[in-house]
């Protein structure tokens, strides 16, 4: 989830207090007309027709400034009916808190009313250390929807997948729970189990999974060498320093390859997002100039834009970005920007489609409480809003399981007795044998990668093609052994 918010303990900014007045502001154009001769006058009918339109506009502006009295009467009556007829006594504070929560949750899946504990929840989510299951979740039709499990957490190890709908927690239905309540229920002491009942697309009946809670320490960035010259960086989420970590891992990979990489795979699959500024920093590590992302909303400070600086730690190496349905928010900012700048080839499946930005607005009467409110939509450099649409990959590679097929025959021309040599200079036999061993080892590793992670193996193949294309020797052969015409005269069956 992409977050952009001021410190929760500070007084409410002045612009927030002015928002209500600003939203109701408007203007009218009066007394404007095209230049005319002094003797010419507008037709009386035109003047008469303009008056009702002006009156209607004024009435509309006046209506905007008034409270909806009829709806407030309905609200008051409903509250009184609950207090007098509900089976148990309910105090006013509980009813009003529930009303506020309902008001915000009815807007979209990401807006919420924040109590003091909820502020701590936000701080935990961005710190990278907390106790729980290790999943990023949202709400859909009253149930908990898994956006993605976090790498190396109990949720991932238990087999929870992006898109799963959690309908029960320890046999208690989540229907009617707020997102914060359900998250609180899933957290607990490390080692304590919790049973999740999930509905999964393609499964004929609900699935029960028992997951043991643990201290979740999220390492947001990891890296390794896939093959000689080709690096891999995995981002599980965007924390406050994730962009700096990406640059550190990039330099580490280059150092391990004697200062030069032939290409890099950036894996954003099942990355639910995180801090907006971290996403901007990651894109900036791969481009030298231009717009990265911009946001638009109704409040003044929701209009933001971020541009790249001249530094390019990646040195322009070929880049492939892996995405899937669990890539959301900040991940989509990175993927969309790199795609728009033609800096990377996107491989995988369509992303989640969360193109909104949430801002925490502390309440002026109580800084311990506030609103997490959707205040803006973000746009890629080319002006694309991916809200509810997602980022489409350049090359679609679905998740798949590969079963290797053994070769029928391993014999080649060189294995036949008495074969002719090709006349080229050959290295001594020891080097030939070593080359065969290295080639066989590389083939085994490539086959293993395809079996373990088909999407990643295909991303690596794309990356190799990009590298070959950038280093292709386009010069024509400089030496021909004999006249091609003479060769054709003596050609026989090949």
Catalytic residues: 329, 340, 354
* Torsion sign across C-alpha atoms 236, 241, 247, 250: negative
The residues near 287 (Cβ < 8 Å, ≥ 6 apart) are 308, 312, 337, 338, 341, 343
CA 394 to chain centre: 16
Rounded CA-CA distance 132/420 in Å is 67
Q: What is the largest CA-CA distance in the chain?
A: 110
Rounded CA-CA distance 444/378 in Å is 44
Asked whether the beta carbons of 245 and 220 are under 8 A apart, the reply is yes
Rounded CA-CA distance 371/15 in Å is 15
Rounded CA-CA distance 206/92 in Å is 39
Give phi and psi for 105, each to the nearest 5: -65, -25
């Amino acid at each position: 989830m992409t977050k952009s918010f001021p410190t929760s303990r500070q007084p409410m900014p002045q612009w927030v207090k002015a928002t209500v007045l600003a939203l109701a502001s408007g203007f009218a154009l009066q007394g404007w007309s095209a230049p005319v001769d002094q003797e010419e006058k507008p037709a009386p009918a035109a003047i008469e027709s303009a008056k009702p339109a002006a009156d209607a506009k004024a009435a509309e502006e006046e209506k905007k400034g008034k409270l909806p009295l009829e709806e407030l009467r309905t609200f008051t009556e409903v509250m009184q009916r609950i207090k007098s007829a509900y089976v148990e006594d309910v105090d006013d504070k509980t009813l009003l808190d529930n009303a506020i929560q309902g008001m915000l949750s009815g807007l979209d899946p990401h807006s919420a009313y924040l109590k003091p504990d909820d502020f701590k929840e936000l701080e935990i989510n961005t710190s990278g250390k907390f106790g729980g299951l290790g999943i990023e979740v949202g709400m859909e039709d009253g149930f908990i929807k898994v956006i993605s499990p976090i790498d190396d957490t109990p949720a991932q190890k238990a087999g929870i997948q992006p898109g799963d709908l959690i309908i029960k927690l320890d046999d208690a239905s989540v229907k009617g729970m707020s997102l914060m309540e359900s998250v609180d229920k899933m957290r607990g002491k490390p080692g304590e189990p919790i049973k999740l009942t999930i509905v999964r697309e393609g499964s004929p009946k609900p699935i029960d999974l028992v997951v043991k809670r643990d201290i979740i320490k999220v390492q947001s960035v990891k890296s390794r060498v896939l093959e000689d010259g080709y690096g891999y960086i995995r981002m599980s989420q965007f924390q406050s320093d994730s962009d700096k970590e990406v640059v550190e891992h990039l330099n580490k990979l280059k150092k391990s390859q004697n200062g030069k990489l032939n290409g890099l795979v950036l894996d954003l699959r099942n990355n639910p997002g995180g801090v907006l500024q971290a996403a901007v920093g990651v894109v900036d590590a791969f481009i030298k100039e231009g717009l990265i992302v911009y946001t638009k909303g109704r409040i003044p400070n929701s209009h933001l834009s971020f541009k790249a600086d001249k530094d390019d730690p990646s040195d322009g190496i070929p880049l492939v970005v892996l995405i899937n349905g669990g890539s959301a928010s900040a991940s989509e900012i990175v993927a969309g920007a790199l795609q728009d700048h033609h800096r990377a080839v996107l491989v995988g499946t369509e992303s989640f489609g969360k193109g909104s930005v949430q801002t925490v607005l502390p309440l002026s009467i109580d800084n311990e409480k506030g609103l997490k409110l959707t205040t803006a939509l973000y746009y890629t450099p080319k002006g694309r809003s991916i809200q509810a649409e997602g980022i489409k990959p350049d090359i679609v590679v679905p998740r798949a399981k590969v079963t290797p097929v053994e070769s029928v025959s391993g014999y080649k021309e060189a294995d036949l007795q008495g074969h002719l040599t090709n006349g080229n200079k050959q290295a001594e036999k020891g080097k030939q044998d070593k080359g065969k061993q290295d080639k066989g080892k590389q083939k085994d590793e490539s086959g293993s990668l395809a079996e373990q992670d088909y999407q990643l193996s295909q991303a690596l193949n794309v990356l190799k093609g990009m590298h070959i294309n950038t280093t292709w020797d386009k010069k024509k052969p400089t030496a021909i052994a004999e006249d091609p015409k003479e060769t054709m005269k003596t050609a026989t069956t090949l």
